Amino acid sequence: MQELKQLQDTPQVLDNWEESFNSMSDNAKQRSKHLHYGGCGCNRKGRLSTHSVFVIHKDGTPITPTKPQRAKKLLESGVAKSVWNKFGQFGIQMLVDTRKETPSTALGIDNGTKFEGYSVVCGTENQLNVMWKLPDKKKIVKKLEERKNLRRARRHRNCRRRPARFDNREKDGFIAPSQLVMVNSRLKAIKEFFRCYPISLSGIEDVRFNHAKFRHGKNFSTVEIGKTKIYGFLESRAKLYKFAGYQSQKLRKMYGYTKTRVNKASEKFSSHCSDSLTMAIALTTNQHIHRGKFIVADDSYRPVRRRLHDTQFSKGHIRYPYSQGNFKSIRKGSVCNFGLVVGGSKAYAKIDNWLHKRTTKSVKKIGWLSKRFFIIEERAKFPNHTSMVVPFGSLGS
């Protein structure tokens, strides 16, 4: 199990957006000459982005993306090394100095209560579209309520206990813990885009609702809370443009994109990414372009955190310590070659596979571990393009 622990990559939650990229093993570097770039967002007819490989400068700043053919030549010549971002997309980092001229690059963001859309347009090409599944807030609120009851019970026992802190909601810029999880999840996705692409423009749909006049805006409030923090981060990295709802709708119709309104949970481009791509186009080309690669990233899983004791007494009034969120030295929430590790027993790990079905695999069969985002099967259907069910397969085991 010590070998599996050494296979783990960088933390899933980024404390610093400038954290270095995951490096490949020596064996994977040797296989990089024979990489298959079919899942990088290009096809024979050129409907998708041809410059689909993101490029990182020697100093760690993102520069203009390149073609898979050129990326392969740079790798073979030894002037670049292979990297992957947390979306499972392949890229290269230069080992020598190169130019930093970049085309106009924009990030479009369509916020939502459960699902969000992100799109990146670099020049006249759509590099990437991501449907981001936010954490389940009802489950988070339930966990926080349970934590509160456990703390309250400990304060009445004759033992070491956490002191009551009833004045922690008077701080400036305070965000409730349940809502802070949602805000940090959005920032996690946005930071990864800025690490991969030379984004200089950002467009976001500014959600506003008159709660004093109408009483049906409960779902809007969870998007409005914490948006100042997100706006502040975007303004510190790029020039921020805010779009009203009617403006993005008008632009979407003008550019010729459709939007799904019946089933917002459907894992397809038109659910959320049509609006995000519209805003990115409005800041760059201002005309219809073929959409690029579409993936679905699921950030809804949260590993079980350590609890001092379980909530119920066992037989004999014995309190047993609760799970610490690890299984066989594997942190729950890590991604392996089979899917997402969510627990296990004895020598078998419980895994959510790429189709969100629970399976059981032997721990010995786990080839590699990573804390990247959980990318599930691509559901978008368009001609002459094969979706990548396992986007991390090229990492090797």
Q: How confident is the model at residue 308 (pLDDT cuts 50, 70, 90)?
A: low
Bigger pLDDT: 118 vs 329 = 118
End-to-end CA distance of the chain: 15
CB 91 within 8 A of CB 52: no
The answer to whether the pTM exceeds 0.85 is: no
Q: CA-to-CA distance for 106 and 201, rounded, in angstroms?
A: 4
Closest CA to 109 of 234, 19, 260: 234
Q: Which of 97-106, 148-157, 253-262, 303-312 shows the lowest mean pLDDT across its residues?
A: 303-312
Cα Rg of the chain (Å, integer): 23
Q: How confident is the model at residue 198 (pLDDT cuts 50, 70, 90)?
A: very high
Give burial (CB, 10 Å; 0-12/13-18/19+) of 123. Answer: middle
Please say if the pLDDT value at position 382 is more than 60.
Answer: no
Res 39: pLDDT: 38
Q: How confident is the model at residue 263 (pLDDT cuts 50, 70, 90)?
A: confident
Q: CA-to-CA distance for 68 and 85, rounded, in angstroms?
A: 16
Neighbouring C-beta atoms of residue 370, cutoff 10 Å: 20
Enter the DSSP assignment of 18.
T
Q: CA-to-CA distance for 51 and 326, rounded, in angstroms?
A: 40
Q: How confident is the model at residue 34 (pLDDT cuts 50, 70, 90)?
A: very low
Q: Which of 86-95, 215-224, 227-236, 300-309 shows the lowest mean pLDDT across its residues?
A: 215-224
Res 295: pLDDT: 92
Res 215: pLDDT: 65
CB 241 within 8 A of CB 198: no
Q: Which of 72-76, 156-160, 367-371 shows the lowest mean pLDDT across its residues?
A: 156-160
E strand or H helix at 311, and its extent?
Answer: none
> Residue with structure tokens 């709802």?
245
CATH number among 3.30.70.100, 3.30.230.10, 3.40.50.1170, 3.30.420.10, domain 105-163+173-289: 3.30.420.10
Q: CA-to-CA distance for 279 and 285, rounded, in angstroms?
A: 11
Res 243: pLDDT: 92
Percent of the chain with pLDDT over 90: 41
